[in-house]
Amino acid sequence: MGVTDGQPMPSPLDYEFCARTDVGRVRSNNEDAVAVCADARLIVVADGMGGYNAGEVASAMAVQIIEQELGAWLMAAGQAVDVTLIRETLTACVDRANAEILNAALDRPEYAGMGTTLVAGVFARDRLLLGHIGDSRGYLLRDKRLRRITRDHTWLQEQVDSGLMTLQHARHSGMRNLLTRALGVDPQVRLEINEFTVQADDLFLFCTDGLTDRMNDQDLEVLLRDPSALPLLAERLLQQANALGGRDNTSVILARTSVAAGMVGR
């Protein structure tokens, strides 16, 4: 752990967060779940699936377990904790959530087949540790350029990666939501974890496919370039998804960085 005179090193960045979720214009219930633990710099997004409202059970379980367990651990560990330990703890919490969802599905017939996507991110000083499963996404807007920082775990993405299908064909395919990974479906979960450097004035978007099925990356980039306050940006994203049909639940978390007050002038 990095320390100075026995005290944790101050973070070079300040973080601002905003989370919003909307049922959309077609669905009667919201199977998305989101959480932000600002003090722990933890974000969680989940998009549930399953009949008889079981999808909202799976997503709520995933978010609650990770928010409570990982959030509490991060608060106790402090900002100086090593990223390797965060990775190990994130993995353990996701494994626990996977087992809890799977057991609930086995115990109750009405929950059979339920599962959820997941995006779970931890901002540690000037790093982002991001784990994901499924087709909920993460994006980074830096210097007015938007970059997707997650890879969809879908059959279509695998076809594109292997050269069997073009991106153009994939965008218009009726199988775009066929997942190859989900939380709570198999005893062993395959969590993909990536690490990113974070800079001042970065803007991160974490979202469910209710947004990205309606808006392409180019349109997202245009909207996110607006320097408005995060709550206004989040509402505009939801409004645009609904204006384009609102066929699914839509959830977004925005995170914006700035130079920490104590670091200015150093």
Residue range 136-175, pLDDT digits in tens: 999 999 999 999 999 999 988 888 777 767 666 666 666 6
The average pLDDT across 49-69 equals: 94
Residues in the chain: 266
CATH architecture, domain defined by 3-258: 4-Layer Sandwich (3.60)
On whether the CB atoms of residues 110 and 54 are closer than 8 A, the answer is yes
Q: What is the Cα–Cα distance from 28 to 86, expressed in whole angstroms?
A: 37
The per-residue pLDDT for 7 is 45
- Greatest mean pLDDT among 47-51, 66-70, 158-162 lies in 66-70
Domain extent listing, the chain: 3-258
Q: Determine phi and psi for 109, rounding to 5 degrees.
A: -55, -35
- Look at residue 37 and tell me whether its pLDDT is greater than 50: yes
The average pLDDT across 6-29 equals: 86
The per-residue pLDDT for 265 is 53
- Look at residue 266 and tell me whether its pLDDT is greater than 80: no
pTM: 0.92
